[in-house]
Each structure stands twice: as structure tokens, then as C-alpha cells.
Amino acid sequence: MTPFGSFPERNIEGLARDAGVQCLEAAPCDPRRVDALYVGNFAGPSFTGRNHLAPWIASGLGLEGVPAMRVEAACASSGAAFYQAWAAVAGGVHDCALVIGVEQMSTATTEETGEILAAAGDVEREAVHGATFPALFGLIAQRYLHEHGLDRECLAAVAVKNHANGALNPRAHMRKPITREKALEARMIADPLGLYDCSLISDGAAAILIAAEPWTDNPVRVRGVGMASDRLALDQKPDITTFPAVRKAAEKAYAASGVSPTDVSFAELHDCFTVAELIAAEDLGFFSPGQAAPATLAGETALAGRLPINSSGGLKSKGHPVGATGVAQIAECFWQLRGEAGKRQVADPRIGLTQNLGGSGATAVVGVFSL
């Protein structure tokens, strides 16, 4: 994984190549053993003017001749790329596949970025009326707080926790601890979401190698994967305080892995906005509806808590180059399981879970991992 941050002087192929080279060297794996390349990328053409990314990246890694494809599923793009690569390897189509997630967002202004991201929602029903993702998740947060009799304190608790974790992550975009007061007093973006409730606009790349048989010591096993979809527009959902795609993807991942929510030791969840972490923790079965908030306030999801969530700092602090996020979550899971997470290492990491979300819940990918 490259550092996440703002790198307008780079190009998107260089970011992807850096992550791919690091991954192949760490394995170690001769590029000639790689049978396929899957690139998760949301909006390379819009942000950088570059299209046909996969063969360009493959060439830079010395992978000419292998199948190379770009996978797009909004902010779940690299989660979806991982899902496809895993299915191909598990099904015997490939013996070894490289998955790279990449995005370069700093090439656009904040206003342009908002418009590009809004295209991952329902353009005719939402974006055409000016509904950006902060606005949509602001509506989700309002309803969630109202339904469960909560206030902004629980959102601030998520932000404070994830910033504390991100400060321990040398690859994080914003290594900056914040206080409860700073989170609550920050300027409002989309009521009730303030500045520190929103993820960062980031550049970066992450890569993982999936093989049918391990050739190194201490490999991480993919126990189960699930992917599901749902409607794009909020007004078409009967309840905007839950994401059915996450629930369905989780059901598939739990069934395939033979584990239950109570077996999970730690999780990397898609906190594009602080409320998204709370809803995901409930949809995944870690807490009943409305209970993720008090659990977070009580420290249960902190690094030293009962169920550490977003040890990496999450999208909130680690950063959110949208096409790279799903694979970056898996990379964090890998390091945690192998005891290689440094100062942010969780205790007794037996089973890890990742949850990658696209749009306002239209796509979800859930993975379960162990040694």
C-alpha cells in the first residue's frame, strides 16, 4: 500500500505500480507467476483523463499478456475487483491473481470532486437536484439519530476513535488526533455531519495477491466473501438506517466462512461518514439496531476494546481514494492477522472482517479472513 494523501504531481499508473511492486516483492512473487490483474478504480477517466487503465498498469508491472481488467463499483470498486479475483482463483480459472485498487482525486477541485462522486448515486433522482453524498448521508444520519434517540456525541466518538488510530498508521493521510470538542465544534457540512464526520479526498493505491496455494509462511486465508447490491436512490429504500446490501453480503460471507459475528476479532468498516460505521456495525450483526452508538461511546470499538473497528484509522483518517479503499481494508486485515500492524496492533487477532460500500448502500462487499 502506498501512503494515502494528496499527490497531484504523480500519475495514476505510477501509484498503482508502486503498490503492485511492493506487493510482489513482499510475497515474494515473480511477475511471471501472476495469471491475471484486476484493477479496482472508480473514476480514473473523470479525475485524470485516463481510460483503459488495466493494461497500462499491467505493462508497468511486467505483466504483459495476462488478462487485465478494470472493475468499477463506485467506492466499492476494489472490493468488487477482489471479489472477482477471489472467485476466479477459487473456481480454478487462475492460480494467482494480483488485485490493485487505485484512485487519484487531487487532480480535481473540491466542487468537481463532489460532482464526480455524485455520479455514483441516482443521477436523475438525486444528483440532478444537487444532492451530493454528504447531503445524502446527512439525511441518513438525521434519521438514524432520530430513530434511536441519539445526538451528535456518538458521531464525534467515531471520529475521535478513528483519528486516534490513524495517528498510529504511517500510511494514513491525516495522522491527526482530534478531541470530542473539536469534532462537535467543527463547521457543519450537511447537518448533522460536520467536517470531522466526513472522509478525506485522497490519492493512493493498495495491492493484494491471491493464490490458490500458499508458497510463503504464515499466509492469510480468505475464509469467505459475499457481495450484494441494492437500489441507488434513498427515496426508493423503505428504511435508510440500514443497508440491505451489507446484510446480504454479510450473510453470504458468514455462511461461506463458517463463522458468526461473535467470532470476529476486529473489523475494517466503510466509514465514508461517521454514521456509516455505526450502521455497518449493526448490519453486520455486531450490535442490534441503535446499539453501535452507545458501544462506541463506551469504548467497545476502540483499539483496546472488545471489538476494534477501523484500526487503520478508517476512511476518516487513513484516507479514502475511493478506488483503493476496499483493497486497503484487506491489507490492514492482513497486517493485523500477521501481527505486523505496529503501534496499532490489536490483541489476539484471530478473525478479521472487511466491509466495503459503494454509493449510499447500492453495492457491498464483505470479506472474512484468518491465518
Catalytic residue of the set 163, 272, 320, 333: 320
Catalytic residue of the set 23, 75, 272, 333: 75
With contact defined as beta carbons under 8 Å apart, do 201 and 110 qualify?
A: yes
CA distance 324 to 277: 18
3-state percent helix, strand, coil for the chain, nearest multiple of 5: 40, 20, 40
Amino acid at 149: G
Interacting residues of 370 by C-beta distance below 8 A, sequence separation 6+: 220, 221, 223, 337, 350, 351, 352
- Torsion angle of alpha carbons 82, 264, 196, 81, nearest 10°? 0
Interacting residues of 216 by C-beta distance below 8 A, sequence separation 6+: 27, 28
The HSE-up count of residue 344 (CA atoms within 13 Å, CB side) is: 29
- Is 29 catalytic? The answer is no
- Is 333 catalytic? The answer is no
DSSP tag of 6: -
Q: Is 244 exposed, middle or buried (0-12, 13-18, 19+ CB in 10 A)?
A: middle
End-to-end CA distance of the chain: 20
Q: Residue 255 corresponds to which cell in the numbers above?
A: 455462511
With contact defined as beta carbons under 8 Å apart, do 202 and 105 qualify?
A: yes
With contact defined as beta carbons under 8 Å apart, do 61 and 122 qualify?
A: no
Q: Residue 251 corresponds to which cell in the numbers above?
A: 450473510
Q: Is 229 exposed, middle or buried (0-12, 13-18, 19+ CB in 10 A)?
A: middle
Provide the annotated active-site residues.
75, 320
